[in-house]
Amino acid sequence: MSEDTNESQNGLIRIVVGVDFTEVGDVALDEAIRYAMRLEKSELHPVFVITERVKNHLEEVNRHLDEAYKALREKVINRCEAVGERWEQHVFFHVRLSKEPAAAIHQVAVDVGADAIVVGTHARRGLEKMLLGSVAEELVRTAHVPVMVARPNELGELEKTPKPEPAVPGEDIHHARVMANEHIAFGKRPSHIAYLI
């Protein structure tokens, strides 16, 4: 059995998040941090992809990678503090050079055996969305793990329905609808047998 299989059976969840130093990237990072905080065992893998052309001179490449690593680390620490809760999970920082950010983020997910990828996107609609060609869209289409697309919560701008459940054909619309709230527990039932003879 591989090391990745053993860790996944022990409940370790690895979350890869694309960070691009924009407001959209901050939303994705915040969501990934919140997601990881809710899990008992998790690893956060923030990824920054350098897409600008870097000359082949090794010293310049190393300088770019080192600067990007420091900026990524500072960004993640600042966002963790902004979320405002105590957090003691493992964080692994990844900086990649690539012309294709989606492919680079996906490759990190493959390399670390990720359980999910979190990326941000602009709330574009219609033709603008169709022509977006974004990292998020590419990952949703091609990734081999679940992809969470994070965007700012703008529910406050929307009007709620007067009744939480819409009327169905033949229903007396003057009669109150039933909305149930239940607590359901899943899992193995505890055994009351102390031992077997």
Place of tokens 């703008």: 154
- Give the Cα separation of 122 and 1 in Å (integer): 41
**Using an 8 Å Cβ cutoff, are 119 and 105 in contact?**
yes
33 Cβ contact partners less than 8 Å away, ≥ 6 residues apart: 44, 79, 80, 83, 87
Give the global pTM: 0.74
Which of residues 143 and 134 earns the better pLDDT score? 143
Q: What is the model's pLDDT at position 196?
A: 43
Interval 164-174: pLDDT, tens: 666 666 666 55
In terms of Cα–Cα distance, which of 135, 122, 129, 117 is closest to 49?
Answer: 135
DSSP per residue, 28-88: HHHHHHHHHHTSSSEEEEEEEEE-S---S-HHHHHHHHHHHHHHHHHHHHHHHHHHTS---
Answer whether residue 189 shows pLDDT above 80. no
d(CA 5, CA 180): 39
Query: If you search the block for the tokens 């920054």, which residue do you land on?
Result: 48
Mind listing the pLDDT tens digit for each residue in 137-147?
899 999 999 99
Q: How many residues does the structure list for the chain?
A: 197
